[in-house]
Amino acid sequence: MVSRNVLEVNNLTVAFSDQDMGGGEAVRGIQFNIKQGSTVAIVGESGSGKSATALAIMGLLPDQAICKGDIRLLRKNGQPVLLSKISDRAYAKVRGNDMSMIFQEPMSSLNPVISCGEQVMEVLVRHRKMSRSEAYSECIKLFDQVKLPRIQELIKSYPHQLSGGQKQRVMIAMALACRPQLIIADEPTTALDLTVQKEIMDLLQDLQNRFNTALLFVSHDLSLVSQIADEVLVMRDGEIVESGNVWQVFSRPAHPYTMGLLACRPRMNIKLKKLPVVSDFMSVERSDGRFSEQKYKSVGEALLKNARSQREVTEAHAKIYSQLPLLEVKNVSVSFPPQQQSIFLPNARKRVMAVDDVSLNVYPGESLGLVGESGCGKSSLARAILRLQKIDAGVLTFRAYEISSYKQSQLRRLRKDMQIIFQDPFSSLNPKLTIRSSFLEIMKIHQVGKNTQERIEKIAEILQLVGLLPDMMNRFPNAFSGGQRQRITIARTLLLEPEFIICDESVSALDVSVQAQVLNLLNHLKSKFNFTFLLISHDLAVVKFFCDRILVMKDGKIVEEGMTDTIFNGSTNEYTQKLIQAIPKGELEDIRKAQQLRQQHRESLA
């Protein structure tokens, strides 16, 4: 049976008239098709036009957007409809019934004051004209299909009472409620742990194959795309610069931009000194009218030239671990008051133990990784180390001084030596202050620099060090991209010249290309200033690249620790193995196996 095109996009252009929305063309004359039951992935950096394309198809662009071109959808009744020509009222009937969308952040997509069951039933009543009782029965079936536990309880629960993975399953149930021809998934797993991400993607593929649904998957994660897509569209500056089946694009990328995206992913099978970045593969026009030479001609060449030998690793570790620890954590416990009654703790009486008798050492110049799923206690432990969270028991020692008993005046002096880089740089910067004002305030508090002029000169120097222009200090945080804001938070940390820095999921929300730049920057600063890092992350590929040693945390306890290569190559802990197996590798052999498994699964359902 020949699959028909469910979606045809021809010469789509999206432009914004409002400069606050970015101005200019976000999408420039692109075209592609999606066949029934197939998965097409759109990949690219932030601002490449991925989400604008998805929103244009769904008819959800803001009023400031000007959309041109043809978007044709095959409806469930077998009749095609030209979406670019229908009214808003007709679009509303198509949306949810014939096509649906799974958004990046389920908490902001679900209504916080309506129960999860009610939100799914609303779709069934509106589009499938069911009665309340019929919608309730169908909601139970949908929640069962997306493998939600305790269905009767969850139907009555509100979004804030569910975990991130459970909220995303509710969104998938809502998207599948009307058995649409097309599902658009826009970065649906970005904020999820790798194990939850794997469960969600396995579920989405299983349901897609079962109902022969077409899937448009929008992501910047090429490793994930390699495991689930049939075809790949690579977008840059609003244009599709390369397209083809997943094997073709990953094994023989033709465009330098695609090569850069593939090369900048942290690798599982090779130790790198430095991650290649997109600019290493691009020829850029210079002021004299000529084009600069590409640094690398292929992904293989980039990886080979940046490989780190075992001898280099051994020598670095011998130097680090011949020293006394910079930080010692001994038998530390952190607990919280019992939560109000919830679906997780219906009869909670005792305090919730977030960190349970944890001990660890961190050595000068070391990069120590702390990994585990959400809720395991990673961030609580980090806050306890920095004395931002009260500890119930245990001892904290920094530079041989016991800091667990420090008073506020002593802690203020300590802040200069122990810093943290948070996950979301925008929420950790004051939106009402320019970068200059924000930095000057910190420098005055900690008495860095003799006067304002000297402090401004230091700010300019630090901004250049992290790859930003000095005059950017006069801008507000909203004038920067996500990657630039993260560089600013790193620069703010460097102002105080700390010895110890905690990175709490500080690269998890970044594009893979920006992530590579930030990780390279942190590594450069580590070698230049001998910084000591504690990297908290659920992305084990990032941890493998950046860290010398790893601690694995589960339910408030350290369940395994060891050198990075030892953990990844020979872990005997079942939980650690589960985390490692959930990593989308993106290697060619893994892509081949994933394609074979998808084909076998489809044939078994045929």
Residue 2 — pLDDT band, cuts 50, 70, 90? very low
- Range in 91-105, 284-298, 402-416 the model is least confident about: 284-298
**In the predicted model, what is the mean pLDDT of residues 147-166?**
87
**Is the Cα dihedral 93, 95, 99, 100 positive or negative?**
negative
Q: How far apart are CA 411 and CA 428, in angstroms?
A: 20
The pLDDT, as a whole number, for residue 3 is 66
- Range in 20-24, 55-59, 365-369, 533-537 the model is least confident about: 20-24
The pLDDT, as a whole number, for residue 326 is 96
The pLDDT, as a whole number, for residue 590 is 80
Place of tokens 């500890």: 391
Say what percent of the chain tops pLDDT 70.
93
Q: Which residue has the higher pLDDT, 84 or 500?
A: 500
- Range in 103-117, 124-138, 409-423 the model is least confident about: 103-117
Q: Are strands 500-504 and 532-537 parallel, antiparallel or unpaired?
A: parallel
Q: Which residue has the higher pLDDT, 230 or 478?
A: 230
Q: Which of 45-54, 95-104, 119-128, 332-341 has the highest mean pLDDT?
A: 119-128
222-226: long-range pairs with CB below 8 Å, 24+: 222/43, 222/250, 222/261, 222/262, 222/265, 222/512, 222/586, 223/265, 223/541, 223/583, 223/584, 223/585, 223/586, 224/189, 224/197, 224/584, 225/41, 225/43, 226/250, 226/584, 226/586, 226/590, 226/591, 226/594
- Range in 235-239, 479-483, 546-550, 586-590 the model is least confident about: 479-483
Q: Which residue has the higher pLDDT, 151 or 351?
A: 151
Cβ atoms 235, 596 nearer than 8 A: no
The pLDDT, as a whole number, for residue 341 is 45
Residue 252 — pLDDT band, cuts 50, 70, 90? very high
Q: Which residue has the higher pLDDT, 353 or 586?
A: 353
Say what percent of the chain tops pLDDT 90.
50
**In the predicted model, what is the mean pLDDT of residues 486-510?**
87
- What residues have CB less than 8 Å from 451, skipping those under 6 apart? none
Q: Is the pLDDT of residue 340 over 80?
A: no
Residue type, 446: H
The pLDDT, as a whole number, for residue 452 is 94
The pLDDT, as a whole number, for residue 285 is 62
The pLDDT, as a whole number, for residue 344 is 47
Q: Is the pLDDT of residue 564 over 80?
A: yes
Tell me the two tokens of residue 82.
């030209």
The pLDDT, as a whole number, for residue 286 is 59
Q: Which of 55-69, 87-101, 154-168, 381-395 has the highest mean pLDDT?
A: 381-395
Grouping H, G, I as helix, E, B as strand and the rest as coil, residue 561 is: strand
- Range in 12-21, 263-272, 289-298, 455-464 the model is least confident about: 12-21
The pLDDT, as a whole number, for residue 191 is 63
Q: Is the pLDDT of residue 104 over 60?
A: yes
Residue 402 — pLDDT band, cuts 50, 70, 90? very high
The pLDDT, as a whole number, for residue 40 is 96
**In the predicted model, what is the mean pLDDT of residues 329-341?**
80
Q: Is the pLDDT of residue 255 over 90?
A: yes
**Is the Cα dihedral 222, 505, 499, 353 positive or negative?**
negative
Axis crossing angle, helix 132-145 with helix 116-127, rounded to the nearest 10: 120
Short-list 97, 65, 76, 84, CA closest to 8: 84
The pLDDT, as a whole number, for residue 470 is 92
The pLDDT, as a whole number, for residue 350 is 67
The pLDDT, as a whole number, for residue 338 is 65
* Residues 420-456 as b or e (16 or more Cβ within 10 Å = b): bbbbbbbebbeeeebbbebbbebbeeeebbeeeeebb
Q: How far apart are CA 16 and CA 173, in angstroms?
A: 33
HEC states along 115-169?
CHHHHHHHHHHHHCCCCHHHHHHHHHHHHHHCCCCCHHHHHHCCHHHCCHHHHHH
Cβ atoms 421, 503 nearer than 8 A: yes
Q: Is the pLDDT of residue 290 over 70?
A: no
The pLDDT, as a whole number, for residue 367 is 96
Residue type, 351: R
φ, ψ of residue 122 in degrees (nearest 5)? -60, -40
The pLDDT, as a whole number, for residue 21 is 45
Residue 22 — pLDDT band, cuts 50, 70, 90? very low
Residue 434 — pLDDT band, cuts 50, 70, 90? very high
Tally the C-alpha atoms within 13 A of residue 388's C-alpha that lie toward its C-beta: 11
Q: How far apart are CA 580 and CA 582, in angstroms?
A: 5
Tell me what the pLDDT averaged over the chain comes to.
87
Q: How far apart are CA 231 and CA 499, in angstroms?
A: 47
H or E stretch including 263? helix 256-263
339 exposure class (CB count in 10 Å sphere: 0-12, 13-18, 19+): exposed
The pLDDT, as a whole number, for residue 291 is 62
Q: Is the pLDDT of residue 353 over 70?
A: yes
Q: Is the pLDDT of residue 411 over 50?
A: yes
Residue 20 — pLDDT band, cuts 50, 70, 90? very low
Short-list 358, 328, 356, 352, CA closest to 340: 352
- Range in 231-235, 318-322, 589-593 the model is least confident about: 589-593
The pLDDT, as a whole number, for residue 157 is 92
Write the CA distances from 227 to 96, 189, 214, 230, 262, integer angstroms. Answer: 27, 14, 16, 9, 14
Cβ atoms 371, 551 nearer than 8 A: yes
φ, ψ of residue 264 in degrees (nearest 5)? -85, 0
- What residues have CB less than 8 Å from 42, skipping those under 6 apart? 50, 53, 54, 216, 217, 218, 219, 233, 235
Axis crossing angle, helix 194-211 with helix 164-176, rounded to the nearest 10: 10
The pLDDT, as a whole number, for residue 349 is 56
| CA angle in degrees (0–180, nearest 5) for 472-477-480 | 65
